Amino acid sequence: MTSIPSVNLKDFLSDDPVRKQKFIDEIGQAYQDIGFVALKGHFLDEALVDRLYSEIKNFFSLPLEVKQKYEIPGIGGQRGYVSFGKESAKGKKEGDLKEFGILASM
């Protein structure tokens, strides 16, 4: 793979069933192949997107001890911070070389 798959939300929101199905097929394939996708055609303005990326970079630049305070055991990585090696790819025993965070609003 040389790039992250990208889908356009405007295709899904259109009244055109062909565009809607194209979105569904592309997002399904992306999740099946690599497990994530880039979303374009969303409603966030560039300034907000830039601020979001800045905050994400700030968080992941924190020391591990600080980030681990946001790790919530027992919920399978559904909320909070998940450190390196906590997840593994389907069919693998080795932990993934990634860390991630999931933010949920109430």
pLDDT at 9 over 80: yes
HSE-CB for 3 with a 13 A CA cutoff: 4
Band of the pLDDT at 81, cuts 50, 70, 90?
A: confident
Q: Cβ(20)–Cβ(11) under 8 Å?
A: yes
| pTM as predicted | 0.58
Looking at residue 105, what is its pLDDT? Answer: 42
DSSP labels, 33-56: HTS--EEES-S--HHHHHHHHHHH
Looking at residue 56, what is its pLDDT? Answer: 85
Q: Which of 38, 43, 11 is nearest to 25 (CA)?
A: 11
HSE-CB for 95 with a 13 A CA cutoff: 9
> Max CA-CA distance within the chain?
49
